[in-house]
């Protein structure tokens, strides 16, 4: 292919056929565009025996808005390259990219049709004990092996340059750290919680902390992040989970990925009273807090072990420094989790966990709890010593609002 063209079903078939041996010579292929994502085209290409692959193509604009929001197609390269890099360090939990074409801006990848999107499953009250340990392993390995602990100085700088991703980073910078804290036209605030959202615009103490978190996001290239690690980017089945959709990847603060995922577990936790009846809600909440605890515990254990065993830079072998590093990641994690709670409730991109609560009164209450907890996590992050303290804060907030 010599120039970019938006794929139709036939183009997706030709692309999948050309770049895989999977379908054989005489197989009848069909394709369907079925993506429910915000930005890209996603086709399933299937043969008459049911074997299938996914073709994901970046459009020169954001799909959910249209041509009035132009967006670089280079995001497809970022996505393919981040996924390949992460798969090197955690093959079990990263979707397999089979081929990337820089002209078509299209990725051919493994079809995870036997899996379900984690967010949908959590909203339905499903519980998976393997979620936290597997995602902890994914984050610890992908983040450690792309950090200064391992990469040579020269290589690290070359990698940072290869993954600058300015246009998609700007979206995160705006949506996470700017819009929710001012009266921005992109915000999406339910009228019933407007009185709770407005104080965020004038809360100078909070805005100072959010500014510090944003400044770190802008200027702390610690490791190659996934960059959009929410529960819609994780596929899960009864045994395993796999990460997709890394187009927001770049070198940033380790706590951003961990905090995004923790924030999504907490969003689901806060939505439980609106999604389930009393008994199911308390069980699901207990499950989610266990997972949140395990997510941090196992992440920090694996990361600590990797630092002790695999660090290449002699200065960074210092174990006191390593402890300090992880403690800072924990604080960043708490802060970014707080930002995720707030931006998913008053910002442009909401989550179904909250929005699918039918009862308007309950939905508003869950959203208000999210804003409160988000603020506390951001404000208190430097005083939180460990995950138990963080989860006590969550429980305390929830108990306070039940009275
Ligand atoms: P976007 O970047 O546009 O948000 P996603 O990567 O999130 O797109 O994909 C949108 C949807 O397409 C997913 O929610 C999922 O339903 C489907 N999808 C994407 N990748 C795969 C895959 N590898 N296997 C099966 N379904 C997929
Ligand atoms: Mg995406």
pLDDT value of position 402:
54
Q: How far apart are CA 180 and CA 188, in angstroms?
A: 9
CB within 8 Å of 59: residues ≥ 6 apart:
6, 39, 40, 41, 71, 73
For residue 109, give the 3-state DSSP assignment: strand
What is the reported pLDDT for 403?
41
**Length in residues, the chain:** 403
Measured CA to CA, the distance from residue 393 to residue 97 in angstroms comes to 40
Which residue carries 């954001």 as its tokens? 62
CA of 245 to the centre of ligand 1 (A): 7
Say how many Å lie between the CA of residue 172 and the centre of ligand 2: 12
Q: How many CB atoms lie within 10 A of CB 178?
A: 17
- The reply to whether 40 sits in an annotated binding site is yes
CATH 3.30.200.20 occupies which residues in the chain? 9-110
**171 Cβ contact partners less than 8 Å away, ≥ 6 residues apart:** 248
Distance (Å) of CA 197 to CA 16, 177, 179, 343, 372? 47, 14, 11, 11, 10
Instruction: Return the SS3 of 270.
Output: helix
Contact residues for 40 (Cβ-Cβ < 8 A; gap 6+): 56, 57, 58, 59, 63, 76, 247
Known binding residue 228? Answer is yes
pLDDT value at position 28?
87
Ligand 1 geometric centre to CA of 31 (Å): 15
Rounded Cα distance, 204 and 181, in Å: 10
347-367 pLDDT, tens digit each: 999 999 999 999 999 999 999
Regions of the chain short of the pLDDT cut 50? 403
Q: Are 246 and 56 in contact (CB under 8 A)?
A: no
Domain 116-402: give its CATH code: 3.90.1200.10
Q: How many angstroms separate the CA atoms of 289 and 307, rounded?
A: 27
Question: Contact at 8 Å (CB) between 300 and 254?
Answer: no
Calpha distance 105→73 (Å, rounded):
6
Contact 351, 265 (CB under 8 A): no
The binding-site residues of ligand 1, defined as CB within 6 angstroms of any ligand atom, are: 35-40, 42, 54, 95, 109-113, 117, 244-245, 247
* CA angle, residues 39, 174, 361, in degrees to nearest 5: 80
Residues of the chain with CATH 3.90.1200.10: 116-402
Q: Which fold has domain 9-110?
A: Phosphorylase Kinase; domain 1 (3.30.200)
- Bridge partners of 117, per DSSP, are 235
Ligand 1 pocket mutation pick from 42, 56, 106 by most atoms within 8 angstroms of CB: 42
pLDDT for res 37: 72
Distance, in Å, from the CA atom of 196 to the CA atom of 371, rounded to the nearest integer, reads: 8
Q: Report how far ligand 1's centroid is from the alpha carbon of 210 (Å).
A: 30
């Amino acid at each position: 292919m010599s120039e970019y063209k938006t794929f139709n079903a036939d183009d997706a078939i030709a692309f999948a056929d050309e770049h895989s041996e999977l379908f054989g010579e005489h197989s009848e292929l069909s394709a369907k565009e079925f993506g429910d994502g915000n930005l890209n085209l996603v086709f399933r290409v299937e043969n008459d025996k049911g074997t299938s692959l996914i073709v994901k193509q970046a459009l020169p604009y954001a799909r959910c808005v249209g041509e009035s929001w132009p967006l670089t197609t280079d995001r497809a390269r970022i996505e393919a390259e981040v996924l390949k890099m992460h798969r090197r360090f955690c093959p079990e939990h990263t979707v397999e990219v089979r081929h990337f074409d820089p002209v078509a801006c299209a990725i051919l990848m493994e079809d995870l049709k036997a899996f379900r999107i984690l967010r949908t499953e959590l909203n339905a009250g499903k519980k998976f004990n393997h979620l936290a340990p597997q995602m902890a392993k994914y984050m610890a390995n992908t983040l450690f092996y792309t950090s200064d602990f391992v990469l040579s100085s020269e290589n690290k700088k070359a990698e940072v340059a290869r993954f600058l991703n300015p246009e998609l980073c700007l979206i995160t910078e705006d949506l996470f750290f700017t819009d929710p804290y001012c009266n921005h036209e992109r915000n999406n605030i339910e009228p019933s919680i407007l009185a709770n959202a407005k104080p965020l615009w004038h809360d100078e103490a909070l805005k100072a902390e959010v500014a510090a978190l944003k400044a770190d996001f802008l200027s702390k290239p610690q490791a190659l992040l996934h960059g959009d690690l929410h529960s819609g980017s994780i596929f899960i089945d009864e045994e395993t989970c796999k990460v997709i959709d890394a187009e927001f990847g770049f070198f940033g603060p380790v706590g951003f990925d961990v905090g995004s995922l923790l924030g999504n577990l907490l969003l689901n936790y806060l939505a439980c009273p609106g999604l389930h009846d009393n008994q199911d809600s308390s069980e699901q909440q207990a499950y989610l807090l266990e997972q949140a605890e395990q997510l941090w515990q196992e992440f920090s254990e694996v990361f600590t072990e990797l630092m002790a065993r695999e660090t290449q830079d002699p200065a960074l072998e210092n174990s006191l420094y390593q402890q300090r590093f992880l403690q800072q990641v924990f604080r960043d994690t708490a802060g970014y989790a707080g930002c995720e709670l707030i931006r998913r409730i008053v910002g442009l991109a909401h989550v179904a966990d909250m929005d699918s609560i039918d009862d308007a009164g309950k939905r508003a209450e869950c959203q208000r709890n999210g804003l409160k907890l988000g603020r506390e996590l951001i404000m208190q992050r430097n005083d939180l010593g460990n995950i138990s303290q963080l989860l006590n804060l969550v429980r305390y907030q929830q108990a306070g609002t039940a009275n």
